[in-house]
């Protein structure tokens, strides 16, 4: 195992479910109790440090990143040396008891800063794909694994998707106007990164210190409408989940010099001012390198995400003088 610092690059897993009872869309997966949530996270090797919910979904700040639970969708992203894919078996078990069946799986990650420190099954993308192939149910028969290169030889985007083709099922709601955008940033401005270190013996809790960092850095201005649940770690590091109606956003920061990293992820609409949002994020972190990934459900032929979104992402990336990473459709 190589000498390493904390691995900031997250692994991200998104699972979609469906059921025959329309009532599942009222609560569905949100019926999973906290003890069961803890059981899922124990397999991943992380814990809940803060949580918030609204009428649409529940958001958990984890000791290593975030978990979002919707009635028929779960998004979990974890950093460090967590074993994210080991959560799948438990999630499928709890979903089955609610009468839900998995219909879509998306696993993504960037290139690890310290790949040799990762435990199985995250020892390589090949191992991850093999584990996924063996774990997800056979009804997800349309599967694809891809490694998408970027302009940087040291960074690639790893994607695994699996679906069953009943996307027209009457009880599976898709919003073709909504996309997910992930921004991965390294080599953060060292002066700005110091804002994510806690003051020694200041007596504040992780919640109150997180709130202070949110306001001090201007993170609260990225989306002023969002309800923010934030947390500051000891001695450094920061996580935040934002809730704006049914949309989520999340930020995670590893500020240590030499392997500094920050990520921003949000659910957005094609009507949003993407350039303005990206520029706000860049102004907060001033990264040396930045990659962007966008993902959406393209189920309506009348909508062309390639035409609607790509020019704005390119313009924002060029304006920020950063690297633009891969785009993947699902």
Cα-to-chain-centroid distance, residue 273: 21
Task: Please compute, for residue 260, the number of CA atoms within 13 A of its CA located in the half-sphere on the CB side.
Answer: 23
Ranked by mean pLDDT, the top range of 142-156, 238-252, 265-279, 296-310 is 238-252
Q: Are 45 and 117 a contacting pair, CB within 8 Å?
A: no
310 pLDDT more than 50: yes
Min mean pLDDT across 58-72, 249-263, 271-285 is at 271-285
Q: Name the phi and psi angles at 297, rounded to 5.
A: -90, 115
Per-residue tokens: 289: 């390198």
The overall longest dimension of the chain from CA atoms, in Å, is 57
pLDDT of residue 178: 79
pLDDT of residue 301: 34
Percent of the chain with pLDDT over 70: 82
Summarised one tens digit per residue, pLDDT across range 247-270 is: 999 999 999 988 899 999 999 887
Look at the block and give the residue holding tokens 């993902």: 295
Q: Are 179 and 305 a contacting pair, CB within 8 Å?
A: yes
pLDDT of residue 300: 37
Q: Are 290 and 182 a contacting pair, CB within 8 Å?
A: no
pLDDT of residue 146: 93
pLDDT of residue 23: 73
Q: State yes or no: 306 annotated in a binding site.
A: no
42 pLDDT more than 80: yes
24 pLDDT more than 90: no
Percent of the chain with pLDDT over 90: 61
Grouping H, G, I as helix, E, B as strand and the rest as coil, residue 272 is: coil
pLDDT of residue 165: 65
Q: CATH topology of 1-173 equal to that of 174-330?
A: yes
Grouping H, G, I as helix, E, B as strand and the rest as coil, residue 47 is: coil
Candidates 211, 213, 209, 207; CA nearest to 194 is: 213
Q: Are 128 and 46 a contacting pair, CB within 8 Å?
A: no
Min mean pLDDT across 57-61, 164-168, 256-260 is at 164-168
Min mean pLDDT across 6-20, 90-104, 216-230 is at 6-20
Candidates 290, 319, 296, 300; CA nearest to 309 is: 296
Per-residue tokens: 276: 């303005």
DSSP 8-state code for residue 199: P
- Domain residue spans in the chain? 1-173, 174-330
62 pLDDT more than 90: yes
β-sheet bridge partners, residue 145: 160
Known catalytic residues are 65, 79, 239, 252
Q: State yes or no: 64 annotated in a binding site.
A: yes
Q: Are 125 and 147 a contacting pair, CB within 8 Å?
A: yes
> Distance between the two ends of the chain, CA-based, in angstroms?
35
| Fold that domain 174-330 belongs to in CATH | 3.60.90
Per-residue tokens: 274: 């993407």
Per-residue tokens: 89: 């078996």
306 pLDDT more than 50: no
Per-residue tokens: 208: 């109150």
- Please, which residues have CB within 8 angstroms of residue 7's CB and are 6 or more apart in sequence? 79, 80, 81, 112, 113, 114, 117, 118
Q: State yes or no: 125 annotated in a binding site.
A: no
Each as own residue / partner, the long-range contacts of residues 126-131 (CB below 8 Å, 24 or more positions apart, any chain) are 128/85, 128/158, 128/160, 129/160, 131/85
325 pLDDT more than 50: no
Mean of per-residue pLDDT scores for the chain: 85
Band of residue 313 on the pLDDT scale cut at 50, 70, 90: low
pLDDT of residue 3: 55
Min mean pLDDT across 19-28, 136-145, 261-270 is at 19-28
Show the DSSP H helices in the chain as ranges: 34-44, 88-97, 125-135, 190-193, 206-217, 274-285, 305-319
* pTM higher than the cut 0.75: yes
Task: Please compute, for residue 81, the number of CA atoms within 13 A of its CA located in the half-sphere on the CB side.
Answer: 12
Candidates 2, 65, 74; CA nearest to 31 is: 74
Summarised one tens digit per residue, pLDDT across range 174-200 is: 555 678 999 999 999 999 999 999 987
Min mean pLDDT across 96-105, 111-120, 178-187 is at 111-120
Q: State yes or no: 265 annotated in a binding site.
A: no
| Fold that domain 1-173 belongs to in CATH | 3.60.90
pLDDT of residue 292: 86
């Amino acid at each position: 195992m190589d000498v390493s610092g904390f691995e900031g690059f997250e692994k991200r897993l998104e699972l979609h479910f469906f059921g025959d009872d329309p009532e599942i869309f009222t609560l569905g997966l949100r019926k999973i109790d906290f003890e069961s949530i803890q059981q899922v996270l124990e397999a991943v090797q992380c814990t809940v440090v803060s949580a918030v919910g609204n009428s649409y979904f529940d958001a958990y700040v984890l000791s290593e990143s975030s978990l979002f639970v919707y009635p028929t969708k779960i998004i979990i992203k974890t950093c460090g040396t967590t074993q994210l894919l080991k959560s799948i078996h438990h999630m499928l078990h709890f979903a089955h008891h609610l009468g839900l069946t998995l219909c879509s799986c998306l696993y993504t990650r960037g290139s690890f800063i310290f790949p040799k420190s990762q435990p199985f099954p995250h020892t390589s993308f090949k191992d991850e794909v093999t584990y996924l192939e063996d774990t997800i149910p056979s009804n997800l028969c349309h599967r694809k694994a891809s490694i998408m290169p970027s302009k940087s030889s040291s960074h690639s985007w790893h994607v695994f998707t699996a679906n069953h083709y009943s996307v027209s099922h009457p009880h599976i709601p898709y919003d073709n106007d909504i996309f997910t955008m992930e921004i991965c940033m390294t080599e953060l401005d060292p002066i700005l990164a110091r804002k994510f270190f806690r003051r020694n013996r200041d007596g504040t809790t992780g919640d109150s210190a997180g709130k202070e960092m949110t306001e001090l850095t201007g993170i609260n201005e990225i989306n002023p409408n969002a309800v923010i649940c934030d947390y500051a770690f000891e001695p450094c590091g920061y996580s935040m989940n934002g809730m704006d109606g049914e949309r989520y956003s999340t930020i995670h920061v590893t500020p240590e010099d030499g392997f500094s990293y920050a990520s921003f992820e949000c659910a957005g609409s094609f009507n949003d001012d993407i350039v303005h949002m990206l520029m706000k994020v860049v102004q907060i972190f001033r990264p040396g390198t930045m990659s962007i990934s966008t993902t959406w459900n393209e189920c309506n032929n009348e909508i062309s995400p390639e035409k609607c979104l790509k020019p704005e992402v390119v313009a924002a990336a060029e304006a920020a003088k950063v690297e633009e990473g891969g785009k993947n459709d699902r």
